């Protein structure tokens, strides 16, 4: 008899539902008011969008294996948010230019990460951590801690406000983005080769896969997605500051793990990362409602990550 096994994305979604139901029991929760509950659920998913977009890049590099991780994503988010803020400066006609610049700048930073890992044989952890320092330093040098600009009205309209009924534009964009990520990973040669190098790079190379090219592409795309996340985030907040992207760094990695992507590479999905982003956003919202300090929030998020990894059996699945 085949043993039943709950897939990680489904498990994460079930956990999200349980957490949301529990939040209604709190003194400041939604209680039995259905309208308030729906509004709160919509807001939580909207907040999860930005974490989910940034986690998309982490999903790619983690699936690629070789201890793949991108610790520069938080700094890239901040840099591209600042660039968007300055370039747009309140003008609707400059939004597409800002989006293009964010994608290109993020992609170039990711390319440098991939090149250092592939050609200089620097570990992903060290390379991306060093790049994070370089990008943060560049932000300070270029802007001297002062940023002048303004987001365009169309950005607020499309990202933060409802587009269809009461559904914010950010959620609609995330659904479309999720479908595109699924197509990329499951229906293209890029996705097939990405999983292949994650399973075994030597075997993939012997099978004709350009391992170096795939590694460069994975990190470049991860950087571009972090840039896209920065573009969307500033469109939602309307303001920028020097550490805007840093709070998303650890959660973006945690969302991938919570969603069931194998940390050693070769197995995972973006649907799982989306579910993980919702779970982590719900936990943060729950702790905020309970007025827990930031230190407690961090401990709970870390503990949740460890527990879920244990449940999924990730540690037993790590390959030597």
pTM: 0.89
Q: What is the crossing angle of helices 95-118 and 211-237, to 10°? A: 140
By CB neighbour count within 10 A (0-12 exposed, 13-18 middle, 19+ buried), where does 237 fall?
middle
Q: Where are the domains of the chain?
A: 8-16+42-312
Its sign, for the CA torsion 23, 44, 298, 17, is positive
pLDDT tens for the chain, residues 1 to 320: 455 566 767 776 777 777 677 666 555 555 556 766 777 778 888 889 999 999 999 999 999 988 889 999 999 999 999 999 999 998 999 999 999 999 999 999 999 999 999 999 999 999 999 999 999 988 888 776 577 788 889 988 888 777 777 888 899 999 999 999 999 999 999 999 999 999 999 999 999 999 999 999 999 999 999 999 999 999 988 888 888 888 899 889 989 988 888 888 888 899 999 988 998 888 887 777 777 777 777 787 777 777 766 665 544 444 44
Which positions ≥6 away from 188 have C-beta within 8 Å? none
Structure tokens at 18: 């349980």
Q: What is the crossing angle of helices 73-88 and 249-258, to 10°? A: 120
DSSP for 130-192 reads HHHHHHHHHHHHHHTT-------HHHIIIIISEEETTEEHHHHHHHHHHHHHHHHHHSSHHHH
- Whether domain 8-16+42-312 has CATH 1.10.3470: the reply is yes
Distance CA 250, CA 266 (A): 21
């Amino acid at each position: 008899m085949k043993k039943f096994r709950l897939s990680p994305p489904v498990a994460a979604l079930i956990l999200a539902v349980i957490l949301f139901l529990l939040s209604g029991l709190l003194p400041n929760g939604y209680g039995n008011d259905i309208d308030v509950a729906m509004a709160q659920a919509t807001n939580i998913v909207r907040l999860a969008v930005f974490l989910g977009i940034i986690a998309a890049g982490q999903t790619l590099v983690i699936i690629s294996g070789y201890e793949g991780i991108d610790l520069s994503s938080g700094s890239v988010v901040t840099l591209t948010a600042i660039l968007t803020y300055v370039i747009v400066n309140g003008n609707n006609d400059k939004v597409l230019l800002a989006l293009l610049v964010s994608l290109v700048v993020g992609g170039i930073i990711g390319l440098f990460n991939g090149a250092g890992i592939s050609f200089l044989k620097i570990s992903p952890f060290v390379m991306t951590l060093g790049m994070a320092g370089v990008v943060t330093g560049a932000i300070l040098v270029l802007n001297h801690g002062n940023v002048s600009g303004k987001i365009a009205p169309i950005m607020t309209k499309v990202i933060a406000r409802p587009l269809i009924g009461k559904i914010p534009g950010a959620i609609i964009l995330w659904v479309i983005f999720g479908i595109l990520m699924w197509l990329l990973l499951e229906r293209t040669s890029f996705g097939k080769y990405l999983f292949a190098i994650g399973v075994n790079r030597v075997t993939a190379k012997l099978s004709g896969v350009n391992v170096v090219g795939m590694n460069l592409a994975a990190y470049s795309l991860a950087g571009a997605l972090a840039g896209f996340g920065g573009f969307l985030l500033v469109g939602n907040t309307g303001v920028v500051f020097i550490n805007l992207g840093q709070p998303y760094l650890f959660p973006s990695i945690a969302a991938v793990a919570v969603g069931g992507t194998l940390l050693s590479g070769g197995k995972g999905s973006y649907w799982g990362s989306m579910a993980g982003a919702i779970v982590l956003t719900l936990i943060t919202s729950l702790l905020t409602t309970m007025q827990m300090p930031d230190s407690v929030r961090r401990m709970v998020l870390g503990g949740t990550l460890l527990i879920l990894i244990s449940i999924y059996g990730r540690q037993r699945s790590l390959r030597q």
